[in-house]
Amino acid sequence: MRGLLTPGVVARLLFAGLLAVLTEAAGVGLVGTATWMIVRAADQPPLAALAVAIAAVRAFALLKGGIRYAERLAGHDVVLRVLADLRARAFAGLTARGDAAPGGDALSRVVSDVDAVQDLLLRAVLPAGVAAVVGLAAVAGVGAADPRAGAVLAGGLLIAGVLLPALGNVLARTGPASAAAIARTRGEVAQSTVDLAHGAAELIAFGAMPAALAEASARSRRLARLEARSAAVSGLVTGAAALVPAGVALAVAVLVQGSAAPVLALVALTVGEVVVPLAAAAARQGEVRAAVGRIREIAADAPEPSGAQPVQRAWAGAVPLRLHGVTVRYPHGGRAALDGVDLDLPAGRRVAVVGASGAGKSTLLDAIAGRAPVTGGRVDGLPEGAEPWQVAGGVFADAHVFHDTVRENLTLGRDGFGDDELGAALEAAGLGEYAGRLDDIVGEDGGRLSGGQRQRLLLARALLDPPPILLLDEPTEGLDPAAADAVLATALRAAGERTVVMVTHRQADLKLFDEVVTVDDGRLTATGG
Ligand code: ADP
Ligand code: MG
C-alpha cells in the first residue's frame, strides 16, 4: 500500500519485535534457571551455591513482565498509527469514488477490513518474526547442550510453527468452508437484511414477505454452518499445535540423561508455546488477505493529501435569488414537501417564514441553499462560478454540533480564520464567554453545552464569514424570550446588508422583517409585510 510501511513504521515494528523477542528470552531464561535451581536444591547444597540462580530467577521474572508491558505499548502504538492513517485513506478513497455514500454498508465493511490489517500485523507478522528468532536461538542453545534434544526441538518447532500453520492456511482457503465461501455467504446475509429492512413495505404489499424471510433464514443458517465448520477446522489445527510442545518436552526428557534433562525439557516446552498461536493466525490468513486486498483497492482511489485546506470564503458580492415554481419531492416522501413555490429574494431583503410543523419551512431553506432535491421549477440568480453554499447558508434544521472543540465547530475544518474573527462571531451570537475558550471540547452533539449555548454556537458558525444570503431555521429555539430578543438583534446587526430568510415561531420577531411568508402544506399561502 502506497507509503503505508514508511521507514518510521518499519523501525517501530522492528523495535516492538525486538522487545517481544526479549520477553520470550526472559521467559525461557526464567524457566531454565528456575528448573535448574529446583533440581540443584534437591541435593541440598549450601545456600551460597544457589545465590546466583536465585538472583537470576528474580531478575528474569521482573524483566519478563516489564518488557512484555513495553512490547505491548510499542506494538499497539505502531499498529494504531498505521490504522489511523489507513482509515483516513480508505475514507478518502471511498468518498472519491462517490458510488458509496460513507455511512452505509461500504463504510462498515471498510472498518472491519481495516481491523483485519491490525490482526495481520499484531497476530501474524510480529508473532511469526518473533517465533523464528526465538526458535532458531533455542534450537542452537539446546542443541549445544545436547544435539539430540536440539534435533527434537527443531522437529517440533517445524511441525507446530510451519507445517500445521501451512495446513491450517490451505484448509481455510480450500474446501466447502473456505474464507471466500464464508465471505460470499456473509454478503448474501447482509443483502437479505438490507432488502428486508428497506423493502419491507413493498414485500408486504406484494405478499412476498414470508418467502423473503425464509430465504434470509436459510442464508443465515448456511452461514452459521460454514462458520462452525471453519471454526472446527481451525480448532483442530490449533489443538494439534498445542500438543506439540508437550510431546517435544516428553521426548527431550526421555532422550537426555542426567540433571540437564528437566531443564532442557521445560525450556523446550516454553519455546514450543511461542509458535502455537501461529496455527490459528495462519488459518485466518485467507480472510485477512482478502480484507487487505479490498482496503488496498479502496485506498488507491484516495487523492494525494493536499496539506492544509485553503480558506474557502463566502461569495463576496450581493446575490439576488428568485425561486420559480420550486417543487421538492423527497425520495420515498409521498406528496411534495414543497409545491410550486415562487419567492423573490432581492439583495438585502429580510423575510420571515412561518407555518405549522411539517409545512415545509425547513425544506424551503434547503431549496434556497441547494440542499434539497428540487424536482421541479428552478432557482435563478446563482452567480457564474459560485457554489450554492458560498451564496446561501446558515443555521439549518439538521445542523450538527461535532464532538470537538469550539474552534473546529466554528471553522468546520477551514483554515485561515484568526482567533479575533472567531471571537467576534461568538460575540455576535451571544456566546462571548467562549471567545477565550476556543479549544474547549463541546461534547457529543454539544452535550456539554446548555441547549441555549448549543443554539448560539450554531448561530456563531453561521455568522463566521456569512454568505450573502443568510438562512436561519429557528435560530433562537431554546432561548428564553429576553435572550432570544437580544441574540436575534445582534445577529441581524451582524448580518448587515445581507439577505436574511428566517424561520420563526415567535410573533415578536416578525416586526423586524420586510416580509412574512406563510408555508402551508408545501405552498406559500400568504405574504405580508
Ligand atoms: P417544517 O420545517 O415546516 O416543520 P419540513 O420542511 O421539515 O417542515 O418538512 C416538510 C415535509 O417534508 C414533512 O412532511 C416532512 O416529513 C418531509 N421531510 C422533511 N425532510 C425529509 C427527508 N429528508 N426525507 C423525506 N421527507 C422529509
Ligand atoms: Mg423545520
Residue 303: Cβ within 10 Å count: 10
- Site to substitute for ligand 1 among 362, 368, 502, most atoms within 8 A of C-beta: 362
The answer to whether residue 131 sits within a structural domain is yes
Residue 354: Cβ within 10 Å count: 20
Residues 178 and 89 in one domain: yes
Residue 508 CA, ligand 2 centroid: distance in Å:
19
Residues 519 and 408 in one domain: yes
Mean pLDDT, range 205-228, rounded to an integer: 92
Task: List % helix, strand, coil for the chain (3-state, nearest 5).
Answer: 65, 10, 25
Residues 394 and 518 in one domain: yes
Higher-confidence position of 93 and 239: 239
Higher-confidence position of 28 and 413: 28
Residue 335 CA, ligand 1 centroid: distance in Å:
11
The answer to whether residue 304 sits within a structural domain is no
Residues 325 and 294 in one domain: no
What is the predicted pLDDT for the residue at 103?
44
- Report which residue type is found at 74: A
CATH of the domain at 519: 3.40.50.300
Strand partners, 341: 326
Residues 291 and 397 in one domain: no
Q: In what order do the strands lie in the sheet with 350-355?
A: 392-395, 469-473, 499-503, 350-355, 515-520, 523-528
Nearest ligand for residue 359 CA: 1
Ligand 1 atom closest to Cα of residue 366: 6
What is the predicted pLDDT for the residue at 100?
42
The answer to whether residue 309 sits within a structural domain is no
Q: Determine which residue's CA is closest to atom 17 belonging to ligand 1.
A: 337
Q: What is the overall mean pLDDT for the chain?
A: 87
Strand partners, 528: 516
Q: Between helices 285-300 and 179-198, what is the axis angle to 10°? A: 60
Residue 338 CA, ligand 1 centroid: distance in Å:
9
Burial of residue 528 (CB within 10 Å: 0-12, 13-18, 19+) is: exposed
DSSP label at 334? -
| CA dist., res. 12 & res. 76, Å (int) | 10
Closest-CA residue to 298 (of 120, 111, 110): 110
The answer to whether residue 353 sits within a structural domain is yes
Please tell me whether residue 393 adopts helix, strand or coil conformation: strand
Looking at 269, 299, 329, the residue that finishes a domain is 299
The answer to whether residue 502 sits within a structural domain is yes
Q: Is the pLDDT of residue 236 over 70?
A: yes
Q: Which among 7-11, 177-181, 250-254 has the top mean pLDDT?
A: 250-254
Q: Is the pLDDT of residue 221 over 90?
A: yes
Flag the least confident range among 50-64, 113-127, 160-174, 236-250: 113-127
Closest-CA residue to 292 (of 171, 175, 173, 119): 119
Nearest ligand for residue 364 CA: 1
Q: Is the pLDDT of residue 490 over 70?
A: yes
DSSP label at 162? I
DSSP label at 286? H
CA distances from 189 to 175, 213, 221, 289, 292 (A): 20, 11, 10, 22, 22
What is the predicted pLDDT for the residue at 259?
79
Q: Is the pLDDT of residue 158 over 90?
A: yes
Residues 287 and 340 in one domain: no
CA distances from 402 to 3, 410, 510 (A): 30, 10, 31
What's the residue count for the chain?
Answer: 529
If phi over 0 gives left and psi between -120 and 50 gives alpha, with beta otherwise, what is residue 354? beta
* Close Cβ partners of 235 (under 8 Å, ≥ 6 residues apart): none
Q: Are 514 and 347 in contact (CB under 8 A)?
A: no
The answer to whether residue 174 sits within a structural domain is yes
* Close Cβ partners of 205 (under 8 Å, ≥ 6 residues apart): none
Residues 259 and 361 in one domain: no
The answer to whether residue 315 sits within a structural domain is no
Residues 280 and 406 in one domain: no
Q: Which three cell numbers stand for residue 73?
A: 505499548
Looking at 299, 329, 348, the residue that finishes a domain is 299
Residues 283 and 404 in one domain: no
Q: What would the pLDDT profile of 369-422 be if each residue is shown by its tens digit? A: 988 888 999 999 989 888 787 899 999 988 888 888 999 999 887 778 999 999
- Site to substitute for ligand 1 among 335, 339, 354, 363, most atoms within 8 A of C-beta: 363
| CA dist., res. 71 & res. 134, Å (int) | 15
- Site to substitute for ligand 1 among 330, 517, 519, most atoms within 8 A of C-beta: 330
Q: Which among 59-68, 91-100, 296-305 has the top mean pLDDT?
A: 59-68
Find the residues whose C-beta lies inside 6 A of ligand 1.
330, 333, 337, 355, 357-363, 397
Q: Which three cell numbers stand for residue 127?
A: 508473532
Residues 406 and 521 in one domain: yes
What is the predicted pLDDT for the residue at 281?
85
Q: Residue 59 is part of which domain span?
A: 7-299
The answer to whether residue 111 sits within a structural domain is yes
| CA dist., res. 323 & res. 340, Å (int) | 9
Please name the residue ranges forming H helices in 256-385.
260-275, 277-283, 285-300, 361-368
Q: Determine which residue's CA is closest to atom 7 belonging to ligand 1.
A: 362
Flag the least confident range among 18-27, 225-234, 311-320, 449-458: 311-320
| CA dist., res. 448 & res. 84, Å (int) | 27
Residues 408 and 488 in one domain: yes
What is the domain count for the chain? 2
CATH of the domain at 30: 1.20.1560.10
What percentage of residues in the chain have a pLDDT greater than 70? 93
Q: What would the pLDDT profile of 73-113 be if each residue is shown by its tens digit? A: 999 998 888 888 888 877 777 766 654 444 455 666 677 77
What is this structure's pTM? 0.55
Looking at 265, 299, 333, the residue that finishes a domain is 299
| CA dist., res. 203 & res. 198, Å (int) | 10
Flag the least confident range among 40-44, 111-115, 339-343, 464-468: 111-115
Q: Determine which residue's CA is closest to atom 15 belonging to ligand 1.
A: 358
DSSP label at 372? S
What's the alpha-carbon Rg for the chain, to the nearest Å?
A: 34
Q: Which three cell numbers stand for residue 420?
A: 479575533
Q: Are β-strands 515-520 and 374-380 bridged in parallel, bridged antiparallel, or unpaired?
A: unpaired
Ligand 1 atom closest to Cα of residue 503: 2
What is the predicted pLDDT for the residue at 168?
87
Strand partners, 344: 322
Residues 289 and 392 in one domain: no
| CA dist., res. 46 & res. 244, Å (int) | 38
